[in-house]
Structure 1
Amino acid sequence: MIISIWRYSHLTLAISSFLLLTVASVTGIFLAFEPVIEKSRDYKATGFDTLTLAQTVPLLKEKFPGIQEISVDDHSFVLIKYATEEGGDKQVYVDPATGKVLGTPTEKLPLFQWMTTLHRSLFIHETGRILMGITAFLLILIAVSGIFLVVQRQNGWKNFFSNVEKTGFAQYYHVVLGRLSLFFILAIALTGTYMAVYRFMPTPGKASALVDETQIREEPLKNLVDFTVLRETALTNLQKLQYPFSDFPEDYYTVQLKDRELCINQFTGDVLAQQNYTQTYQLANFSLRWHTGRSGTIWSLLLALASAYILFFIYSGFAITLKRRRSRSKNKFKAKEARIVILVGSENGGTFKFADAIYTQLIRHGEKVFLTDLSNFTAFPNAEHLIVMTSTYGQGDAPSNAKKLADRIKQNPQSKSIQYAVIGFGSRSYSQFCQFAFDVEKLLQNTTWAKAILPVYTVNDKSPQDFSDWITEWTRKTGFSMIMPRELLEPNTADLKKLLVTSRTNLDEESSFIIQFKSAQLKHAMSGDLLAIYPRNDHRERLYSIGKVDKNIQLSIKLHEHGLGSSFLNNLQQGDVMKAKLVKNQHFRFPKMAKKIIMVSNGTGIAPFLGMISENRRKIPIQLYCGFRNRSSFTLYEPFLKEQLSKRSLAGLNLVLSREEEKEYVSHRLLRDSDAVLQCLKEGGVIMLCGSLSMQKDVLEILEDIYKPEDNLSTEVLLKQGRILTDCY
């Protein structure tokens, strides 16, 4: 369970550094605006980028006879220092092409002075610098551990920037904003760490130390403007130039460029010595510019935003942690007294809402109940019923409070038989939907004391309807008096978007119809995603697979006599507006890089395939096997599919009718075409299934028979490789 290592590392690092990170972030926000204010003075002269030192150095010496040095800052402002006639020194910004004075540098604002000292050293000098350097390094580790947690949450690297399931404000934006600001936060952390480390590195040597004063000549005398090195050096490459203090040969020009330092004979222009900067020194300068925002106004503002994000992450991270450890129903009875034991596996605390509701209701009915984490599994000498409610984390992993379950079950065999039921909580948008619930089922099946009274039930997106189905069946099996808790009947209607009905067909002979919607808010919807509607504006949610056709969201609907969702959609007419929510279905996407594709559907399961076929711009060979009861059921889709055949977006159409003509199912046709199916798989093809679960079961069994002779092909392997994709219900 490597995920737990990353999670606890992430949390430990955050807790150990949050105080100093808060200080660094708050001061960082303020300090990010300092270069913006400096840049706004705009002392950069026109033509700065075209000038050489040969044009600027003699000019400024003539204009300012007492000039001592020229420096160019990160904003390309040219600052000179010179001795006045009154005997003092003065600094001014100048136009390097004309010598015109552009302004006078102002003292650093007291606020920025105070913030800079606090940010760098906490007012405790070298010790403070070390502490802030360690804090920057811890921020790197926090960011890296956060990356791995997002990878686990998003089901792999390829989904790193995919849409994030909304499981609460703090957690949702902790992930979303974390991905957006990742580069900037790492830039802050890496540059801050390097600057702290650089202070303990040896300082680079000076070019002046290499000058052999015995070899300095005064002839041939050249004008300053004719110095070759000055003519070949752009002003943009200058950091600082110091003029000679006197006319003695031992005084020379000292020039600090961005990559080296030079000593230049003031009479002949010869380079007396040259010292190239080390990579560590250049990297330190680079780190300073980027860490302080001196590289540009936009970068400064991005750093301020990233610092603000860090403050939000501190808040949201602790909010998530508190939610996971939130106050739960206090056990009235001890574990050894309980007749009913409820064990919960939850990553973010959401599953406890359901467990608490069941616990409270059973307690009110006078039952002895004990509720705890799955990792707290122990001996329950009086238990008769065990209820396991668990979510799944990442790629089928156990949530953080359930990772010890397997060991605890081995260590604590029960003294008598216990009836159990397992409920999995998750989202069908993930390929490992409720996987850990099924893993728990296997653990319990391998014991001698656990007796299942129900198959594993799954709850999609915390659906009250799914949970109600389990309650109904569990109470029927056990005889306990329990109803669906009222607090769980709140509608799941967050983030609803408006959709406009652009067209719909009339009901065909099988009471099926196609309806299309347009929505500016759902432009990112893709074929294979799910549309969640709430026909009665309550907790009852209905999900429909969508096809994206001509940039519209298209549904294929079968009207059922008492169907809540299908009746609602059937009452919509062109021009009507409804509200719905998009549920991303990342594991059921059109495989754009596949060499061949076989699509298998029955009934309205054809819906996502219609969109995928229309989006097949690369003309990947697609064979569609679609099953219907009668030919009349197919007339709704026939014109569209014939058009796709003519466009070569669809390579082959296999219509299978169960009540007419050959009276067969799609599984039978696949078996008949087994050679072509096997060849498709051998060539790296993909098989996609959408429709009823019974169809999926039959097709998977047939596929097992088809590739049985092949040692390297199996359903388990093909599912893991993403070469069999299913979205059945």
Structure 2
Amino acid sequence: MLRKFHSLPGLLAGLFLMVLSVTGAVLALAPALERASAVIPASGEVSIAELADRIVAHYPGTEQIVREPSGKVIVYYSRDGQAGADLVNPVTGEGTAPYEPSAFFSWIKDLHRAFMLDDAGRALAGVLAVLMVLLCLSGILLIARRTGGWKNILRPLSGSGGKRIHAELARFAVLGLLLSALTGSYMSAQRFDLLAEAPDTGPRFPADVSGGQPSPVGTLKALGNFDLGELRELVFPYPGDPQDVYSLSTSGGSGFVDQATGELLQFQPRSDGSILQHWIIRLHTGEGLWWLGLILGAAAMTVPVLSVTGATIWWQRRRSSGQLPDNADPAQADTVILVGSEGNTTWGFARELHSSLNKAGFRVHCSEMNALAERYPHASMLFVLTSTYGDGDAPASARRFMARIGDFRAEKNLRYAVLGFGDRQFPSYCQFALEVDAVLARKGMNRLLAIELIDRCSAAQFSEWGNRVGEVIGTPLFLNYCALQPATVKLELVERADYGIAVQAPTSIFRFKPAEQGGWLTASPRRFKALPPFEAGDLLGVIPPHGQPPRFYSLASSANDEIVEICVRKQAGGLCSGYLHDLKPGDCIDG
């Protein structure tokens, strides 16, 4: 259920989430770019009064001074009846460049916030933010379950291909994506009045103003008490109006300053709601937190990859769990196959067993372990094919099996065989299969065969197990499971160096290059473009013969070397290491 809860929102909203994430990643660059070009005086070096005094010296018609979260200072002024806006150096007060908001970033911001659709687009963006929260939470729960609990959340993940990429990227990016999604959801909820927005009434205009001769702005005591780093906005009084005042907005609050006495009037600290709202915006946009913006941008850039790999995983799972032809009714079946699977890999083996038994004349019913019936009145054989999830847990299609087994009534002639699937490199290798075998034995059932454990989906082990089953039931079974292999590149062995033969520890260094395709790729640099970029320490998956899953070896070279180099020690009985050690220069492998 959790997996469906995770995959369905991703499938429905994948394309829109990619647009939202890519535009968000682009916008995340803006705070860092603005900070890089801003002049930031040290704390306490420049007061607001000093800043205003320096700017007025260069811009006599100053109307407003704004300090952006990035640290940039903008002066809005009037000169010869024309309004203008310049970026200024806060240390000297001199203008550095005309201020013009970036048209590119404005367009990207509109696309990010509303998909160019005004309020309808904003509503869509808000819904997508909520969906991203659900995807993050369900995804991290799935990873925790896969690794055997929260304490193992950072341990190495098993698997390869799209599933491995999806899980590793998600684990890297989930905190950043969750922060962006939560803050985006909050902002959208406020936009549509689902959450109350902090009141922004501000202080009342002062009733008592001195009305005296205006003092130079640099001498105003109230402005001198605030550091430049606290400034948000300073609005100048209307020229020639002694009853007007300076309007001051800082990070701590807002108020007014008498232009004659320099007294601070009606200062109002910011409310807790206003501070929270301000921080929500900063955490979402990275404004004033350029380093956080870059982190959030990096997290956002994983979303297109997560969307594509997630859709691929869903499609492969759907294809592998398709309806079985000639699946007998459980009440009429003489043979029952129960399947425990997390990612539907085990279903491929179950289909092969189901097909072979059907061809042999048996009436076979196959279903997930969660669908265990109370009894199978005509069944004489029960096969349980199950993987183990995480740290010895039941896979998704077997989580209710242990609860249902208590009500199961086995016929006297019903014999069972358990086939477990796992990976020997993990400590809880086939643990759930062992528990299932034990609980069936405690029910008083007789074994058809002792439990068999399949390492890394070995088709050869599965075929051998099928031969033993055939011997017991008196009907030959030829189980030929062919796994879906990842896309490969044909590599030609160009050189090998052998060591350790004298001490019975044969170890070889193999050097490969992409094989010629149709005889036209003859120049080495052009041939090497057939490979994706790689670095030393990355893994090369080698497909052994007979449809086995890939074995992975650490690379000792990078793409710049124009060679694929691995070092492999021959293992006793090792299928892939033995295969590699039998290669001669000119032979090819799929990797």
TM-score (norm 2): 0.77
Structure 1: distance between partners of 2:7 and 2:548:
40
Structure 1: distance between partners of 2:578 and 2:124:
65
The answer (yes or no) to whether the contact 2:254–2:269 under 8 Å persists in 1 is yes
The answer (yes or no) to whether the contact 1:184–1:306 under 8 Å persists in 2 is yes
Quote the offset at 1:178 in angstroms.
0.2
The residue aligned with 1:306 is 299
Over 3 Å counting, the alpha-carbon distance change for 1:22 and 1:295 in structure 2 is farther
Over 3 Å counting, the alpha-carbon distance change for 1:375 and 1:492 in structure 2 is farther
The residue aligned with 1:285 is 278
The residue aligned with 1:186 is 178
Structure 2: distance between partners of 1:322 and 1:491:
14
Cα deviation 1:574-627 (Å, max 9, x = unaligned): x9x99999xxxxxxxxxxxxxxxxxxxxxxxxxxxxxxxxxxxxxxxxxxxxxx
Over 3 Å counting, the alpha-carbon distance change for 1:572 and 1:453 in structure 2 is same
The residue aligned with 1:347 is 342
Task: From 253, 256, 260, give the equivalent of 2:249.
Answer: 256
Task: From 79, 86, 89, give the equivalent of 1:92.
Answer: 86
The residue aligned with 2:431 is 435
The residue aligned with 2:393 is 397
User: In the alignment, is residue 82 of structure 1 matched against residue 77 of structure 2?
Assistant: yes
Equivalent AA in structure 1 for residue 166 of structure 2: H
The residue aligned with 1:317 is 310
Structure 2: distance between partners of 1:106 and 1:142:
34
Structure 1: distance between partners of 2:49 and 2:287:
27
The answer (yes or no) to whether the contact 1:194–1:284 under 8 Å persists in 2 is no
Quote the offset at 1:350 in angstroms.
0.5
The residue aligned with 2:4 is 11
Quote the offset at 1:553 in angstroms.
8.3
Structure 1 segment 209-248 matched on structure 2, within 5 A: 209=204, 213-214=207-208, 216-217=209-210, 222-248=215-241
Structure 1: distance between partners of 2:402 and 2:305:
36
Q: How many pairs align?
A: 547
Structure 2: distance between partners of 1:161 and 1:205:
44
Over 3 Å counting, the alpha-carbon distance change for 1:354 and 1:230 in structure 2 is same
Quote the offset at 1:354 in angstroms.
1.1
The answer (yes or no) to whether the contact 1:93–1:104 under 8 Å persists in 2 is yes
Quote the offset at 1:262 in angstroms.
3.6
Quote the offset at 1:358 in angstroms.
1.8
Structure 1: distance between partners of 2:6 and 2:549:
40
Over 3 Å counting, the alpha-carbon distance change for 1:137 and 1:488 in structure 2 is closer
Cα deviation 1:492-528 (Å, max 9, x = unaligned): 9999999986852624xxxx54758799977599xxx
The residue aligned with 2:54 is 59
Over 3 Å counting, the alpha-carbon distance change for 1:347 and 1:30 in structure 2 is same
The residue aligned with 2:524 is none
The answer (yes or no) to whether the contact 1:44–1:75 under 8 Å persists in 2 is no
Structure 2: distance between partners of 1:202 and 1:179:
33
User: In the alignment, is residue 453 of structure 1 matched against residue 445 of structure 2?
Assistant: no
The residue aligned with 1:361 is 356
Task: From 364, 372, 375, give the equivalent of 1:377.
Answer: 372
Structure 1: distance between partners of 2:360 and 2:484:
21
User: In the alignment, is residue 420 of structure 1 matched against residue 413 of structure 2?
Assistant: no
The answer (yes or no) to whether the contact 1:388–1:421 under 8 Å persists in 2 is yes
Over 3 Å counting, the alpha-carbon distance change for 1:124 and 1:569 in structure 2 is closer
The answer (yes or no) to whether the contact 2:498–2:506 under 8 Å persists in 1 is no
Over 3 Å counting, the alpha-carbon distance change for 1:539 and 1:35 in structure 2 is closer
Over 3 Å counting, the alpha-carbon distance change for 1:189 and 1:488 in structure 2 is closer
Quote the offset at 1:405 in angstroms.
2.2
Equivalent AA in structure 2 for residue 362 of structure 1: L
The residue aligned with 1:635 is none
The residue aligned with 1:444 is 440
Cα deviation 1:539-559 (Å, max 9, x = unaligned): 57999999xxxxx9896967x
The answer (yes or no) to whether the contact 1:387–1:421 under 8 Å persists in 2 is yes
Over 3 Å counting, the alpha-carbon distance change for 1:21 and 1:283 in structure 2 is farther
Structure 2: distance between partners of 1:532 and 1:60:
64
User: In the alignment, is residue 335 of structure 1 matched against residue 327 of structure 2?
Assistant: no
Give SS of 2:154's match. Answer: coil
Quote the offset at 1:26 in angstroms.
0.9
The answer (yes or no) to whether the contact 1:389–1:424 under 8 Å persists in 2 is yes
Equivalent AA in structure 2 for residue 55 of structure 1: E
Over 3 Å counting, the alpha-carbon distance change for 1:188 and 1:461 in structure 2 is same
Quote the offset at 1:347 in angstroms.
0.8
Quote the offset at 1:456 in angstroms.
0.8
Structure 2: distance between partners of 1:313 and 1:72:
38
Quote the offset at 1:188 in angstroms.
0.6
Give SS of 2:8's match. Answer: helix
The answer (yes or no) to whether the contact 1:240–1:255 under 8 Å persists in 2 is yes
The residue aligned with 2:457 is 462
The residue aligned with 1:142 is 135
Quote the offset at 1:427 in angstroms.
0.8
* Root-mean-square deviation (Å): 4.5
Structure 2: distance between partners of 1:482 and 1:62:
95
Structure 1: distance between partners of 2:29 and 2:575:
59
The answer (yes or no) to whether the contact 1:29–1:303 under 8 Å persists in 2 is no
Structure 1 segment 105-144 matched on structure 2, within 5 A: 105-106=100-101, 108=103, 111-112=107-108, 114-118=110-114, 123-124=118-119, 132-133=125-126, 135-144=128-137
Equivalent AA in structure 1 for residue 267 of structure 2: Q
Over 3 Å counting, the alpha-carbon distance change for 1:14 and 1:241 in structure 2 is farther
Give SS of 2:232's match. Answer: strand
Cα deviation 1:298-343 (Å, max 9, x = unaligned): 7556545533433443444344344434314223432233222221
The residue aligned with 1:103 is 98
Equivalent AA in structure 1 for residue 355 of structure 2: T
The answer (yes or no) to whether the contact 1:205–1:275 under 8 Å persists in 2 is no
5+ unaligned residues in a row in structure 1: which ranges? Answer: 1-7, 526-530, 547-551, 582-729
Cα deviation 1:183-210 (Å, max 9, x = unaligned): 220221122133235553353555532x
The residue aligned with 2:563 is none
Structure 1 segment 268-667 matched on structure 2, within 5 A: 268-295=261-288, 303-326=296-319, 327-378=322-373, 379-448=375-444, 450-485=445-480, 487=482, 503-504=499-500, 506-507=502-503, 512-513=504-505, 515=507, 537-538=545-546
Deviates more, 1:220-229 or 1:182-191: 220-229
Structure 2: distance between partners of 1:51 and 1:376:
73
Quote the offset at 1:222 in angstroms.
5.0
The answer (yes or no) to whether the contact 2:469–2:477 under 8 Å persists in 1 is no
Aligned sequence identity (%): 23
The answer (yes or no) to whether the contact 1:69–1:81 under 8 Å persists in 2 is yes
Structure 1 segment 698-713 matched on structure 2, within 5 A: none
Structure 1: distance between partners of 2:37 and 2:548:
64
Equivalent AA in structure 2 for residue 464 of structure 1: A
Cα deviation 1:51-106 (Å, max 9, x = unaligned): 432332123334333322111223433222223433x5433333442433611425
Quote the offset at 1:439 in angstroms.
1.9
The answer (yes or no) to whether the contact 1:32–1:292 under 8 Å persists in 2 is no
Deviates more, 1:492-501 or 1:174-183: 492-501
Structure 1: distance between partners of 2:334 and 2:295:
58
Give SS of 1:366's match. Answer: coil
The answer (yes or no) to whether the contact 1:32–1:293 under 8 Å persists in 2 is no
Deviates more, 1:134-143 or 1:216-225: 216-225
5+ unaligned residues in a row in structure 2: which ranges? Answer: 512-533, 555-565
Quote the offset at 1:432 in angstroms.
1.4
